[in-house]
Every structure is written in structure tokens, then in C-alpha cells.
Amino acid sequence: MAEVVRLTKVGKVGVIAVDNPPVNALSAAVREGLLAKLHSALAEPSIQALVLLGAGRTFIAGADIREFDSFDSSGGPDLNEINAAYETSPKPIVAAIHGTALGGGLEIALACHYRVGLARAQVGLPEVKLGLLPGAGGTQRLPRLIGAAAALPLIARGNFVPGPKAKELGILDQLIEGDVQAGAVSFAEELVARNAPLKRIRDLAAKAEPRLFADFRKEMAREAKGFFAPWKCIDCVELTTTTPFDEGLRRERALFRECLASKQAKAQIHVFFAEREVAKIPDVPRDTPVQPFAKAAVVGAGTMGGGIAMCFANAGIPVTVLEVNREALERGLAVVARNYAGTVARGRLTQAEMDRRMALIQGTTDYAALADADFLIEAVFEEMEIKREVFRRLGQVAKPTAILASNTSTLDIDAMAAESGRPRQFIGTHFFSPANVMRLLEVVRGAQSSRATIATAMELGRKLGKVAVLVGNCDGFVGNRMLAPYVREAEFLLEEGALPQQIDKVFVEFGLAMGPFTMGDLAGVDVGWRIEKRRRQTRSKNLRTSYLVDKIAERGRHGQKTGAGWYRYESGSRQPLPDPEVERIVVEHAREIGLARRPISDEEIFKRCFYPLINEGVKCLEEGMAIRASDIDIIYVNGYGMPAYLGGPMWQAEVIGLRAIHDDIRRFQDRHGGYWEPAGLLSELAASSGRLRDWRR
């Protein structure tokens, strides 16, 4: 078997190369190899200095995350032991970074005496994104090297630093060009030639302004709300200013273990792997040819159309936006310009960059101007007749190879595909609002979408910086379909005795960005109402329907945009305020339908709303609307304000227990009948103690 760590000699320099594809993760075998090769090199008198590098496309991307389930029994030496051996080596060691040096990979580089890298190298301590902290000295060495102020955000946010910035910060001693091994070897030879000192970061003192940590904790309050690891990261960095190195290292490891044992880390690691799984489509192999998309078109310059056009412009793809008339077009493009100007004003975009992006967006009122587009997305009003008409026109003008897509959030993709006359080149691309901000893209597979069309839409998502999830064609697709019963039960609970603020609080405390009524106000009460009215047309008369939303919407309470919905809003504020008027409407409505309101517990609210959402997710899975349970989690983490530390609804289902959920659903079925039928797959897995995450159709 090929060695995962090799030692070769270039003149006086020993080169230790880690070769453990795909990312040189620090598996037990690699850790063993790193120590063994160091000992060999130290014992070899002709070697005077060492270079540590990674074979393949990365340096070392960190600990082997797959070994974390058996952290103490995975075998091989501990990373801290390896780092100590490298740091105390009497021969100088240079880490040579040509790709990513992440987590434990950067930690070992920090234990080396010098670091050099290519401009395209990336370094970082992303452990926090896995619900962890750097547990092999990263929190103790990086602040000592570059100062606590610079190290804090890198460790607590986990962002990657490109080579030139790493040089500027002092993480890299030198940027090199060309072959990384050759550059690092001559750097090492020079160290030997001038008898350079062995720079050991552990011996440096970390400096920090007195207010640094208090200020940074304040800065992180919102973005790290509910998360465990970022706060522990900050604690660890603070230790460098108060505690000797060895004691700091011990405390860091204790906190690392605390994180590793947490539910949050398990959920976040699940999300990490789920994000990688989501791109894998069983019947669309990775090498499926992708059609080039040099030019795009968007029909509709409303909120969604404008946002989608911005996505293309942000990715450097020219896009033509079509509207029915000049006024609507100009209004839409003005909103786009205002959005960009806001980003410029906040200092997050240069004026020149804004100008470049605006220049990529062309407006038109003439369908003929869309003839050269490769990918055309419809984002008009959510009405089937209007959409059919758009696709009839697009089918006529688009070039023969073009792919047509609809941004519908609920309507039947196949009905539109039929209208376009090219169902094989038809697909759904469901963006989430605001389209230029939200990461999620549901790619909706039509009955006849070709593999190339699917592969192209998934690739487009990646190009636009989205997480694309392939779903099936059903009402609401996956995300909104699951949301429907959650919102339905929330409205029933209002009738039975709860108020919007009580229900929302339960879900905010659970960790969601907002509860169902704040979400309804944000999306527009009228929008949900319109969808509900359409669904009523096909709903069995035996099923309970709430008409409460009609009473809110009919009063013009359409949500944030009208200053009132399920809440009221002060002028210019997005803060939902409980409204006595809503309470009056709710109480009056309950009286009218003859329901005696009762106190409702937070536990009932949680189960009544969240369990049907899970149940619907399981139905999506068994019907093949989602490929795997973890895809559904990705949808909720990226598009529905569920924090990664909850892992997504399907992950949560297993945390709570499928059996417990199933039994509660049965109990609700006895009490409320109707909607409360457990999904067949849920019953099956509950009975067999099976796992959603292992289930495939």
C-alpha cells in the first residue's frame, strides 16, 4: 500500500510529504507517519533542515472529521504530541503551503518554525463551523504569532485567509512563486546557510488591548446567537493573554472535548457532509456534460426577478431582464440599483464594482432580445395562466439549445414545460427571497428534464454561489410543502387559544431565525393567503380549514410592507410588535366558529407545528421528492433560517426520536383526526428503529 507520509531528500533538506487524498486529512495513519518521518529525518545526519508539504491539491485540510466519532480510540499519536515534536525539533522545519492549510493542518504549520506559501494558498481555522474549536494549539499559537486582535475573528468565524493576506498578517513568512517544493527547499537551505534561529511560536507573548475581548463578544452577539463554539473560541484566545502556553494548551483541549461532545458539533458536522452529498445525484453522474451559459435572461423585474438578475451580475454573467412595459422595467432596475448602492454605502462593494455589475444587466420589453440567452428564468406573478403565456413566448424566441426555467414556488413545473414545447430543456429554479442574498436554490426536476438540463441547473447554482438541492415536482416542492402544515397548525392554535407572539417565541427559543407569523409578515400575508385560497379549491370538505388569515388579509394587513399583519410595525421599523387588534380579531374569530379558547402549552405548540413539518419531510422522502434526508436538512439550514447547530428538521427528528414523534402524531390523530396521518416511512422506521439518514428509495 502506498505510504501516506513520505520522506525524501533534496540535497541537505528532508522533504516530508503527506499524501492522503482527497484533502490530506490527518487520519491516524497520517499522524503516525508524520511522527515516524520526523524521527527518521532527525536521526539522519545528512539532513540539516526539513520541509513539510502536501501532495495533491491541498496542504493538510485538518483532522479527519470522519474519525471524530471515535476520537480517543482512532489510534495514532495525538496531534498535540506531533506538534510538540515538530516545534522542538533541533533542525529547522518549513511548512510549504500550496493549497488549503486548514484546522489541524494550519495548526501543524504553526508548530513548524517557518511557513512559506503560494499566493493561491488558503489558510484558516474553520473548526468553529463544525461546532468545534481548534484543538491542537491553534487558539494558543495563532494569537501569539499575529496578535489576539487579528486572530480572534479568524478563529471565532472560521474564515479562510488567502496567501497574500496571510503574508500581510504574518502567518506566512514568505510568498513564493512557481514550484512550492523548490521554493521551500531553497528557503530552508538559506535558513541553514545563515544559521537562522528556530522560531517557536509558543515562546512568543500574545498582546491585546484591554477592551478587545469585551468588544468582540458584543460584535458577535447577533451572528453567534445560540451557537456554543464561537464563545469557547473567544475564551481560548483570551487565555493567551493570561495563561502560560502549556496550561493554555490543556485548557484548549478540555474545551475542544466539550465542543466535540456537544449536540451542536454533531449537527454541524452532519451539515458539513450533507452539503457535500447534496451535489450527488444518483442518475446524473458527475461527468454529465454541462451546457455553457454565457448569457442569461430573466422575465419579470419584480422583487424576485431583480434579485435573480443580481445573482447573475454578481457572478459576472450578462443578463437581460424583460418586463411588460418600460415603467415596470425602469422601476425594477431602479430597485436593483438601489440595492447595490446600499451595499456600496455600507462599504461592502466599490462604486466601480457596482458599475461593472449594473452594466451586465440589460433591460428590454421585447421578447426577441432574449434570443441569444442560454439560460432563461421566468419570475413573473405566481399565476399559472400568466406563466403559461410567458413560456409559450419563450419557447418561440429562445435559441434551440437554451434551457428554460421557472422560479415558481408552488406551481406545476410539468404544465409549464408542456407549454414551452421543449420539456427536456425545462426545469424549476426556485430562488428564495431576497434572491441575491439567500443561499438556497431548489432545482425542480420535471418529468422530462434531461440529465444535461439537471446538471446544468445544478452547475448554474454553484456558479451563482448557491447551495443547489435537486427536488421533485409537487405542490410547494420540498421546503414550502413542509412549511404548509407547520403554518396550518400555527393558525389552528391561534383559533384554539394561542397568540402569534406566543407561537413565534417557541420557535425563536428553539433556534429558528423567526416564528411562523413573523415569517408570514415578512413574506406578505397576502402571498400566503393567495396560495391558501388556491389550495382550498381542492381540499376535502372533511378537513379543517382556518379562515383567520382571510380576516387579517382582508383588512389590508399584508405584513411588514403595509405596517401591519400578524403584528404591527412602527414606521420604518421591522420589529414585530404584538397588536391588541390582532388579539381582538383572533378572539372574535374563535367565538364566531364556536371554539372555546384554552391555555396552550409551549410543548403543544412545538409538537403541533414542528411534527407535521417533519412528517411532511418524511413523505417527500418516501415519494422521492428529495433524494435523501440530509438534502432536506440543507434546504432548511440554507433557506428557512434554521441554524446549522440544529442540523435541519430531519436531523432533529432523529435527535427527538422517530418513535416518540410517531407516537405523538398518532395521539394528535386521535384528538384532531384529519391531517394527522403519520407518513408510512415514519411508521416503518419507528417500528424498526431505522434511521432516516440511512434510508434510500
Any idea which residues carry the catalytic annotation?
107, 127
Closest contact distance (angstroms) between CB of 652 and ligand 3H9 is: 22
Cα gap 93→48, rounded to integer Å: 9
Q: Does 117 bind ligand 3H9 (CB under 6 A)?
A: no
In a 3-state reduction of DSSP, which class is residue 93?
strand
Q: What are the phi and psi torsion angles at 208 (to 5°)?
A: -155, 145
**Placement of cell 439518514 in the chain:** 693
Q: Closer CB to ligand 3H9, residue 23 or residue 336? A: 23
Which SS3 state, helix, strand or coil, does residue 552 take?
helix
In the range 221-280, which residues lie near ligand 3H9 by CB under 6 A? Answer: 273, 276
Amino acid at 585: I
> Which residue type, as a one-letter code, is found at position 620?
C
Site string for ligand 3H9, 601-620 (x = CB under 6 A): --------------------
Determine which residue in the list 34, 38, 116, 130 makes contact with ligand 3H9, applying CB under 6 A. 130
**CB 490: neighbour CB atoms within 10 A?**
25
Residues near 625 by beta carbon (within 8 Å), at least 6 away in sequence: 471, 472, 474, 477, 478, 481, 619
Closest CB to ligand 3H9 among residues 91, 141: 141
Shortest CA distance to 384 belongs to which of 414, 362, 359? 414
For ligand 3H9, the closer of residues 100 and 409 by Cβ is 100
Give the separation between CA 454 and CA 428, rounded to whole angstroms: 10
Binding piece for ligand 3H9, criterion CB under 6 A, among 97-105, 112-120, 301-309, 662-670: 97-105
Question: How many residues touch ligand 3H9 (CB under 6 A)?
Answer: 26
Which of 274/435 has CB closer to ligand 3H9? 274
Cβ neighbors of 29 (< 8 A, separation 6 or more) are: 4, 20, 76
Q: Which of 33, 92, 117, 135 binds ligand 3H9 (CB under 6 A)?
A: 135
Contact predicate 14/8, CB 8 Å: yes
Binding mask 23-52 for ligand 3H9 (x = CB under 6 A): x-x---------------------------
Q: Which of 102, 319, 377, 402 binds ligand 3H9 (CB under 6 A)?
A: 102
Of the pair 107, 489, the CB lying nearest ligand 3H9 is at 107
Which regions of 118-239 does DSSP assign to beta strands (E)?
A: 122-124, 161-162, 174-175
- Closer CB to ligand 3H9, residue 135 or residue 559? 135
For residues 4-23, which are near ligand 3H9 according to CB under 6 A? 22-23
The minimum distance between CB 373 and ligand 3H9, in angstroms, equals: 29
Q: Residue 66 or 207: which CB sits closer to ligand 3H9?
A: 66
**Is the separation of the CB atoms in 89 and 42 below 8 Å?**
yes
- CA–CA separation, 263 vs 522, rounded Å? 31
Shortest spacing between CB 375 and ligand 3H9, in angstroms: 23
Indicate the residue among 112 and 682 with the shorter CB distance to ligand 3H9.
112
Question: Which of 417, 405, 437 is CA-nearest to residue 306?
Answer: 437
- With CB under 6 A as the contact rule, the residue among 33, 134, 472, 516 that binds ligand 3H9 is 134
Grid cell at residue 365:
420589453
Piece in contact with ligand 3H9 (CB under 6 A), picked from 122-130, 178-186, 322-330, 555-563: 122-130
Minimum distance from residue 135 beta carbon to ligand 3H9 (Å): 4
**Distance of closest approach, residue 100 Cβ to ligand 3H9, in angstroms:** 5
Instruction: List Cα–Cα distances, 382 to 16, 194, 408, 411, in angstroms.
Output: 60, 72, 7, 8
Does 163 interact with ligand 3H9 (rule: CB under 6 A)?
Answer: no
Instruction: Label residue 648 left, alpha or beta by phi (over 0 means left) and psi (-120 to 50 means alpha).
Output: left
Stretch that binds ligand 3H9, among 100-108, 300-308, 582-590, 615-623 (CB under 6 A): 100-108
Q: Following DSSP, what letter does each residue of 403-448 receive, concatenated?
A: EEEE--SSS-HHHHHHHHT-GGGEEEEEE-SSTTT--EEEEEPPTT
Contact residues for 143 (Cβ-Cβ < 8 A; gap 6+): 151, 152, 206, 208, 237, 240, 241
In the range 58-87, which residues lie near ligand 3H9 by CB under 6 A? 58, 61-66, 79
Which residues here bind ligand 3H9, judged by CB under 6 A?
A: 22-23, 25, 58, 61-66, 79, 100, 102-104, 107, 126-127, 130, 132, 134-136, 138, 273, 276
